Chains A and B, each alone.
Chain A
C-alpha cells in the first residue's frame, strides 16, 4: 500500500483566518514533504522533514508553518495568507529520503 492521505480536500479561507492542512501515511516512511502546485505548473518543494526533523525549508514565507508531530503525520499551519497563495498543496513521503516519493491527492486551497 503506497497511500498518502490529505485532509481537507478543499479549503476556502480569508486572509485573516488560521487553518491547518493535514497529511498522514502508514507506510513507515521517515521522510515527508510539502509541495505547492499552481495551475499548469509542476510542484514546487516547500519543506522536507527527515526523521521528524525539519531538514529543508525552501525560503517559504513564515505565514506557512510546518509541523511533524510524529513519524506518520505532517501538518501545515496557515495564517494571514494572501490570494496568491491559492494553489494545490501536496504532501509526499519516501522511505528514508533517498528513494522515490509518493504523493497524496492534495488540498485545493482558495484564499479570498
Chain B
C-alpha cells in the first residue's frame, strides 16, 4: 500500500464547476500538507500549504485537512480552462521529505 493515495483521473468538468480533489494517507506522522499545480513540462507550483489540521482558503481555492480520517482535499470554485493541469498532493512528517501522491489530471472544458 502506498503512503499517499491519489486518483490519477483524468477528471473532466465544465467551466464554472466546483472541483474536488482528494488524497488519503497512511502515515499518522504527517503534519505538513501541500497542494501543487503542475502544467505540462513545467515545475510544480505551490497552491496551498497547511500545517496540521483545518481549513485554508485562498481566492477560488480551499484546502481541508482531516487528520482523524487521514484525508485531505482541495476545492476549486468557478473552475476555468486555465485550471487544466495536474494537481499533486504532498505531505511530510518533518517538512523535508515530501511524499507525493500520483497526481490528478484535471481538464476544464469551456
Q: Are B101 and A98 in contact (CB under 8 A)?
A: no
Which of the candidate stretches B12-20, B44-52, B69-77 sits at the interface with the other chain? B44-52
In angstroms, Cα B96 to Cα A31, docked, is 8
B60 within 8 A of A: no
Which residue of chain A is the closest to B101 with respect to CB atoms? A42
Which residue of chain B is the closest to A4 with respect to CB atoms? B43
B36 within 8 A of A: yes
Chain B interface main SS type: loop
A28 within 8 A of B: no
In angstroms, Cα B44 to Cα A104, docked, is 8
Q: Output the residue of B32, B94, B98 with the most chain A CB within 10 A.
A: B98
Can you pick out 26 interface pairs between chain A and chain B where the beta carbons lie within 8 Å of each other?
A31-B96, A41-B102, A42-B100, A42-B101, A42-B103, A45-B98, A48-B96, A48-B97, A55-B96, A56-B96, A88-B41, A90-B43, A90-B44, A94-B96, A97-B94, A98-B95, A99-B32, A99-B49, A100-B34, A101-B34, A101-B98, A103-B36, A103-B43, A103-B44, A106-B42, A106-B43
Query: Taking beta carbons and an 8 Å cutoff, which residues of B are in contact with A?
Result: 32, 34, 36, 41-46, 49, 88, 90, 94-98, 100-103
